[in-house]
Structure 1
Amino acid sequence: MPTTDLNQATSTERGQSLKDLLLNIRRAIDNNLPREQWVRAEISKVDRHASSGHWYLELQQSDEAGSVAAQAKATIWKQIAGSVIANFREVTGDDLRKGIKILFRARVQFHEVYGLSLGIQEIDPAYTVGEFAAKLARIRERLLREGLSELNRKLPRPVEFIRVAVLSPASSAGLGDFRPEALPLERAGLCEFVYITATFQGPTAPASLREALGQIDAEHRKRPFDCVAIIRGGGSVTELSWLNDFELAAEVCRFRVPVLSGIGHERDRGILDEVANQAFDTPSKVAIYIRECIFRNAADARVSLDFIRNRARFFLASASTALAESRDALESRSLRLLSEARHASERRKEQVELLTRGMLPMERRHLDELQTAVRSSSWELVKGARDALEHSREELKLLAGIRVSHIAETLAALASQVAERGRRRTTGIESVLDAQAARLLDDLKQILRGERRGLDRLYLAIESESGRALSSARRQVQASLELLLAVGPDATLRRGFSIIRGTKGVVTSRAQAARYPILDLQFHDGTLTVANESLDRE
């Protein structure tokens, strides 16, 4: 048999057509699997054909590592799509969309052209809601296990709002509700609102919100916020489920500023509501709370201000009364002290006058004697200094002459001795002696020059010391003369005193003055003659 015929026969006997294989798979599925069964899966893609009215879904299941473990296509046919979608929307508040998990009843369909497909007959919305609750429970348990859940809730609630960070979607109904309440406060300068936007829905929502919180924290370091308000305008359970993220919730827990949540759903509370410092149903309630706190603080401040004013008026009145009493007492005491001072001054003046009248002649005589003694002492001191200087000079000259004569005699004797020795020595020894004599003579000359320099220094020292002694004596004489002039009669008269004279001289007592009918009063600018009236009365 030819080779070509053999290969054709072999290919006919071995294998089957692709269509036969797929038909066998279809028969196996139809014969061995239930007609319908419930399946759990996560929606990875939703496509609604507007023209046909059919809904086409792509479903998947992920393993613990997050990798895709299984995937399939599903279809909701137009005939039942309306009722299935409406029922799901009524319970969950949302349409079918990517990322949510569903429990559905489906028919397993296999077509030799289109492959495996699941025909969805019914969707249980309670499963989706329960899945959200289970996810929330897992996040809650982990936050509690890691000690994060109560961190922000335990921060002191803000009692004053001056600067508030507002985190919201770029455009939402919640932001529209918040701004009308916040705008009057901002216009009045009572509170500053800093608006930060982020994504609140979809797979990127948690990362976007965490990034926005990081931006708020950076602004807080530059200039502190009193709180952070996280707001949005409500939404369905599935839409809000994007905010149920562990990393986002942990970031809110660790945030150093109190967080106020106003997500906008009254029935269901998300994880952010549970970990925030305070949770409100709607964004407008957050703004109202801030406004009421500001108004309450203002009212309290006004009450406190009125109290302070009343207390200030009371203390001012009390202080005025006490001040008036103190002023009266001070004036009375001042007048009394002034009167006492005047009397004491008059008495002291009389005592000084009496003392001066008695001591003035004695002081004058004492000053005259002191002046004479100072002059005598000064001249004696100057004369003694001069005599000492002349005596030092004579002694210096005598001493210098004696030293010079003594040195000359010593030199002459040494020269004679050298000459005598030279005659008795040999020629070699004579030369040695001559050299020694010359050196000795040089030494003696140096000694003589040193003695002369010492005598010169001694003379200069004696002369300098004598000059200083003479200058000191002159200064003492000058000081004594100035003292005499300062306490002399003229200076004493210029200070307000006077000298009383009778016909027999200076009068130093009242008894002396009583004997003279006429008295001469000498002042610093002249003499005044007065009659003694006390003599007439006696």
Structure 2
Amino acid sequence: MTHHDMPASADAAACPLEPTGLWVRATASRPRRHRDGWLFDLQALDPTRSGRLTAFMSADFTQQVEQASGIMLHEEDLVGDHTVLLTLTVDPLLGLTGRIIGLDRGLMLRAWAERDAQVREALDANGLWERQRELPMPRRLRRVFLIEPDDGAPHAIGDGLARWNELGMIALIRHPLAFEEPGAVAALHSAFDAANDQFDWGTLDAVIVEPGTGFAFRALSDPGLAQRLCEFPVPILTRRTRPVTLLDGLAFRSFDTARDLAALLIEILHRELREADRPRLEAIARELGPAPAAEDRPVNGAALFD
């Protein structure tokens, strides 16, 4: 036996047997209140194994999950097949008990999907869900607002747009923020405030959202933000995250890869070249000759002719 097997004192409430935890795949049933948390029955997925283990999930752990996921957990959320991380304790009343200290992310994914579906249904009922996709394709790409992660890492979309900016092909406004940190929703609202200012000045052709790498990105499914983005007057382009968010569904266009997103931007630039009527401009240049140097041009309101 190890020191983990021995109770600290004769009247100890419990003694941990697996302090680092043990991942268990089981069916959870019979959720019920107990002290400051929940009790569940865990049973092996193999029907030939009849044993059950009582599992306890504390209120503190529940709160941690809710803060990390943005989802309020209910007792029915844990009913069914799950993978949980347990520490084993011996409770004087309950006997051998598993204390839940970790959850497989599948639980959160299902809860997120259900919540997003409800928000999407409400936006669709109000005629907002398709609003972005009804916007016309940009006819030019001269000023772009990029919302990108502030992680300092290279990202293909940001790097490519920065190069175009250096070449004078576009004017790029970069707005870095932390997508998965507390306050991300407020930061996104501030970013779109700045983008909307550019639109009000008449100089914004597209907003690009590059979330970077990560897991949750729940700020991009915030109901209030989603409604605002549905009604945003400028096309929003984004690279899809995994798991998907509401932004992925409501955006003007969303793409699986940075290359796919870049292909659309290049298509817009080619269209701008076609509509610029380059043969006409080249004919004007040939007829008029090179433009005069800056020092040869009239200044200070001087007359063009004597």
Q: Calculate the TM-score normalised by the size of structure 2.
A: 0.60
Which one has the bigger helix percentage? 1
Residues 187/140 of structure 1: CA separation in 2 closer, same or farther (3 Å cut) = same
- Alignment match of 1:258 (pick from 232, 235, 255): 235
Residue identity opposite 1:179 in structure 2:
G
Deviations 1:369-421 (A, max 9, x none): xxxxxxxxxxxxxxxxxxxxxxxxxxxxxxxxxxxxxxxxxxxxxxxxxxxxx
Residue identity opposite 2:121 in structure 1:
E
Asked if the contact 1:233/1:282 (under 8 Å) is kept, the reply is no
Specify the SS of the correspondent of 2:185. Answer: helix
- The offset of 1:255, in angstroms, is 0.9
Specify the SS of the correspondent of 2:131. Answer: coil
Residues 242/36 of structure 1: CA separation in 2 closer, same or farther (3 Å cut) = farther
* Partners of 1:124 and 1:181 in 2: CA distance: 37
Aligned residue for 1:193?
Answer: 172
- Alignment match of 1:155 (pick from 115, 118, 135): 135
Residues 98/182 of structure 1: CA separation in 2 closer, same or farther (3 Å cut) = closer
Deviations 1:95-152 (A, max 9, x none): xx5656675656885658xxxx852398444323212211221221121123221222
Aligned residue for 1:59?
Answer: 62
Aligned residue for 1:275?
Answer: 250
- The offset of 1:60, in angstroms, is 3.6
Residues 260/198 of structure 1: CA separation in 2 closer, same or farther (3 Å cut) = same
Residue identity opposite 1:36 in structure 2:
L
Asked if the contact 1:262/1:279 (under 8 Å) is kept, the reply is yes
Asked if the contact 1:39/1:104 (under 8 Å) is kept, the reply is no
Residue identity opposite 2:164 in structure 1:
L
Specify the SS of the correspondent of 2:132. Answer: coil
- Alignment match of 1:132 (pick from 104, 112, 121): 112
Asked if the contact 1:172/1:233 (under 8 Å) is kept, the reply is no
Residue identity opposite 1:298 in structure 2:
L
Residues 185/21 of structure 1: CA separation in 2 closer, same or farther (3 Å cut) = closer
Residues 227-306 of structure 1: matches in 2 within 5 Å?
Answer: 227-236=206-215, 239-263=216-240, 265=241, 268-299=243-274, 301=276, 305=280
- The offset of 1:163, in angstroms, is 0.7
Deviations 1:259-302 (A, max 9, x none): 11124x4x653210111111122345434422332134324545
* Alignment of 1:166 onto 2:146: yes
* Partners of 2:189 and 2:40 in 1: CA distance: 47
Residues 157/197 of structure 1: CA separation in 2 closer, same or farther (3 Å cut) = same
Quick one: percent identity of the two aligned structures?
A: 24
Compute the RMSD of aligned alpha carbons: 4.2
* Alignment of 1:204 onto 2:183: yes
* Alignment of 1:120 onto 2:97: no
- Alignment match of 2:201 (pick from 222, 229, 243): 222
Where relative contact order (Cα < 8 A, 6+ residues apart) is larger, the structure is 2
* Alignment of 1:177 onto 2:156: yes
Q: Considering only CA atoms, is the larger Rg found in Structure 1 or Structure 2?
A: 1
Which one has the bigger strand percentage? 2
* Partners of 1:41 and 1:270 in 2: CA distance: 29
Specify the SS of the correspondent of 1:153. Answer: helix
Residue identity opposite 1:271 in structure 2:
L
* Partners of 1:291 and 1:148 in 2: CA distance: 28
Structure 1 unaligned residues grouped into runs of 5+ = 1-18, 24-28, 45-57, 69-96, 314-538
Residues 299/204 of structure 1: CA separation in 2 closer, same or farther (3 Å cut) = same
Asked if the contact 1:227/1:257 (under 8 Å) is kept, the reply is yes
Specify the SS of the correspondent of 2:173. Answer: strand
* Partners of 1:268 and 1:119 in 2: CA distance: 28
Residue identity opposite 1:282 in structure 2:
T
Residues 136/299 of structure 1: CA separation in 2 closer, same or farther (3 Å cut) = same
Residue identity opposite 2:273 in structure 1:
A
Aligned residue for 1:323?
Answer: none
Residue identity opposite 1:220 in structure 2:
F
* Partners of 1:230 and 1:122 in 2: CA distance: 32
